[in-house]
Amino acid sequence: MRKFSILLAFLVGLIQSQAQKNIDLLGFLPFENKINDIWGYTDTSGSEYALIGSEVSLLIVDVSIPQNPVLLFEIFGDTSQWRDVKTFNDFAYVCNEEGGGLLIVDLSNLPNSINHQYVSAIDTFDYQTAHNIFIDENGVGYLLGSNISNQGAFMIDLNVSNRFAPEFVGLYDNQYVHDAYVRGDTLYTAEIGNGTFSIVDIRDKSQPLVLARQTTSRAFTHNCWLSDDGNYLATTDEKPGAFVDMYDISDINNIRLLDVYQSNPGDSVIPHNTFFLGDYLFTSYYRDGLTLVDATLKNNLVEVGNYDTSPFSSDIGFEGNWGVYPYLPSGHILASDREEGLFILAPTYTRAAYLSGVVFDTLNNVPVNHAQIEILGESALKYSQFNGSYHIGIADSMRYDIRMSHPQCQTRIETQVLLETAIEKVLNFNTACDFSTPIKDLNTMQKVWIEGNASNGQLLIHFKDLAPHSRIEMHDALGKKLLSQENKSSNGFIVYEQQLATGLYFISFKQADIPYSFGFIIR
């Protein structure tokens, strides 16, 4: 036992030396098998527990003394890379993708004992597997990506006299559902294969009604989480270099993408799950650890904290930080690293320093879309919108040099700009752009260029050495989408046969997960 304590102390010291900001390590516990999902539970005495899925079991850990986490129980089941767990009242509900049914665990006698049972018969349904589970505030469970029907959301009532015998209440089967969030009578689904989230009316659970559907920024919608006021939905796309998206859903007939956030912009790390906690977002990144984002301004998501749980380099891959649970009454954060183990963390909440403004082309008297705004010397980079507006921020209050650049415009740098905590500073950039330059002459844009006479419907959009199945889009100066087409091969061209009026237009595409945009003028 003494040797293990020395090893544990060494590991804690090692991990504390890794990248971190505004998040401190309180405790750490390694495991023999790889772990995956994580959730939390608090008993009537206030003791706190981590519920962790491993590839072979459910682990129940007492984290009441975070510096000394104690593994209390391990419940074995079918071997599965995915094991998801949620709680309702004093019970835990655990699913996996390989078999064995739904594991139901009575936690009411912790830390002394538990009672558990595997359930495979739910009314007339033979339930065996699910990728994920969500439980709403009313005690309705949603088994997601299950073996039932089309793998949508299989709804069960957990408010039954025999808690080991949940009852079927409904099925949303419009799409495969990878993950979901539910509040009241509304189901928000992450439909990863479809690349969308849906907003579903489930007042009548026997007849779910889709109210709206939205494609996310990288069209691989992994999870979603609702803000406290219900007006915003945060989503992740589980792809290299993808984003956490923030959507305004206050008007479901006009869902708007307000901002995107990316850990270490330009890297290929993969976001996994994101969670709202008040005006902050906690997000688990596989190879980049846990990030804390100030989401007070929903159109300006700014990272203010991070903790890298993995000693390995940030790269493409599905190892590292799988999950995060930020809802313990103590305020401690639980994080599960696939290879390393359980981390118990303490965040320091701070507001960001914000910067916003407009980029304007004085030569052509138009706003500039997709101008790159950088806080130099920091990992902070955003792009202007179609109306020229931009929003960016930084965790620390101090003076910074700010650069605006676009391959068709003159670069501008403002030096020693004071950015202050919780204050939004306005900084506008005036520049001169040459949107008439042949796009093949621009080194950064040699992958896509245009030819032809767009005023009479003969526009050709050429592309070369693009990644297959990426997307090329064209918008007008106000952001109206005129074309969105997937390139089936790496080389070719797209014919746009409609006449374009006089004005400014933008072509956008991605290469190696980096977005590009260039403009052209019809005179």
Residue 462 in any domain: the answer is yes
12: pLDDT confidence band, cut at 50, 70 and 90?
very low
Is a pLDDT exceeding 50 seen at residue 334? Answer: yes
The contacts of residue 3 (CB under 8 Å, 6+ apart) are: none
Residue 247 in any domain: the answer is yes
User: Mean of the pLDDT values across residues 333-337?
Assistant: 97
Residue 177 in any domain: the answer is yes
93: pLDDT confidence band, cut at 50, 70 and 90?
very high
- From the number of C-beta atoms within 10 Å of its C-beta (0-12, 13-18, 19+), residue 270 rates as buried
443: pLDDT confidence band, cut at 50, 70 and 90?
very low
Please tell me the distance from the alpha carbon of residue 298 to that of residue 247, in angstroms, as a whole number: 8
Which amino acid is present at 106? D
**Do 116 and 213 lie in a common domain?**
yes
- 73 versus 4: the higher-pLDDT residue is 73
Q: Which two tokens mark 312?
A: 């390995």
Q: What residues form DSSP beta bridges with 293? A: 281, 303
Reduced to 3 states (helix: H, G, I; strand: E, B; else coil), residue 449 is: strand
- 85 versus 9: the higher-pLDDT residue is 85
Given 371, 406, 431, the domain boundary residue is: 431
**Do 387 and 343 lie in a common domain?**
no
Is a pLDDT exceeding 50 seen at residue 441? Answer: no
**Do 38 and 89 lie in a common domain?**
yes
**Do 61 and 144 lie in a common domain?**
yes
**Do 292 and 418 lie in a common domain?**
no
**Residue 301 belongs to domain spanning:** 19-347
Please tell me the distance from the alpha carbon of residue 523 to that of residue 7, in angstroms, as a whole number: 71
- 468 versus 39: the higher-pLDDT residue is 39
Residue 285 in any domain: the answer is yes
Please provide the size of the chain in residues. Answer: 523
**Do 281 and 248 lie in a common domain?**
yes
- From the number of C-beta atoms within 10 Å of its C-beta (0-12, 13-18, 19+), residue 437 rates as middle
Nearest Cα to 445, choosing from 483, 475, 406, 488? 406
Is a pLDDT exceeding 80 seen at residue 206? Answer: yes
Q: Under the phi-then-psi rule, with left for phi > 0, alpha for psi from -120 to 50, and beta for the rest, what region is 81?
A: alpha
**Do 332 and 364 lie in a common domain?**
no
Reply yes or no: is the peptide bond before residue 111 cis, omega within 30 of 0: yes
Given 326, 347, 368, the domain boundary residue is: 347
- The proportion of the chain whose per-residue pLDDT surpasses 90, expressed as a percent, equals 72
- From the number of C-beta atoms within 10 Å of its C-beta (0-12, 13-18, 19+), residue 229 rates as exposed
Q: What residues form DSSP beta bridges with 388? A: none
Write the pLDDT tens digit of every residue in 365-418. 889 999 999 999 998 899 999 899 999 999 999 999 999 999 899 999 999 999
CATH number of the structural domain spanning residue 467: 2.60.40.3080
* Whether the Cβ atoms of residue 211 and residue 201 lie closer than 8 Å to each other: yes
**Do 413 and 504 lie in a common domain?**
no
* Whether the Cβ atoms of residue 372 and residue 316 lie closer than 8 Å to each other: no
> How far is the CA of 455 from the CAs of 324, 368, 460, 494, 523, in angstroms?
53, 21, 12, 16, 8
User: Mean of the pLDDT values across residues 269-298?
Assistant: 95
Q: How far is CA 483 from the centre of its chain?
A: 27
Q: Which two tokens mark 147?
A: 């073996």
Q: According to the model, what pLDDT value does residue 460 have?
A: 84
User: Mean of the pLDDT values across residues 270-299?
Assistant: 96
Residue 9 in any domain: the answer is no
**Do 176 and 323 lie in a common domain?**
yes
Helix (H) and strand (E) counts in the chain: 1, 47
Q: According to the model, what pLDDT value does residue 508 have?
A: 87
Residue 14 in any domain: the answer is no
**Do 415 and 483 lie in a common domain?**
no
Structural domain total, the chain:
3
**Do 371 and 328 lie in a common domain?**
no
Residue 13 in any domain: the answer is no
Residue 153 in any domain: the answer is yes
Q: According to the model, what pLDDT value does residue 486 have?
A: 82
CATH number of the structural domain spanning residue 71: 2.130.10.10
- 509 versus 158: the higher-pLDDT residue is 158
Q: According to the model, what pLDDT value does residue 199 have?
A: 98
**Do 343 and 358 lie in a common domain?**
no
The contacts of residue 7 (CB under 8 Å, 6+ apart) are: none
Is a pLDDT exceeding 80 seen at residue 3? Answer: no
Given 320, 347, 374, the domain boundary residue is: 347
Write the pLDDT tens digit of every residue in 107-125. 999 999 999 999 999 999 9
Please tell me the distance from the alpha carbon of residue 289 to that of residue 345, in angstroms, as a whole number: 12
User: Mean of the pLDDT values across residues 253-270?
Assistant: 90
Q: According to the model, what pLDDT value does residue 454 have?
A: 55
Looking at 131-140, 315-324, 349-358, 401-410, which range is the least confident one?
315-324
User: Mean of the pLDDT values across residues 238-263?
Assistant: 94
Is a pLDDT exceeding 80 seen at residue 96? Answer: yes
Which amino acid is present at 351? R
CATH number of the structural domain spanning residue 417: 2.60.40.1120
User: Mean of the pLDDT values across residues 486-495?
Assistant: 84
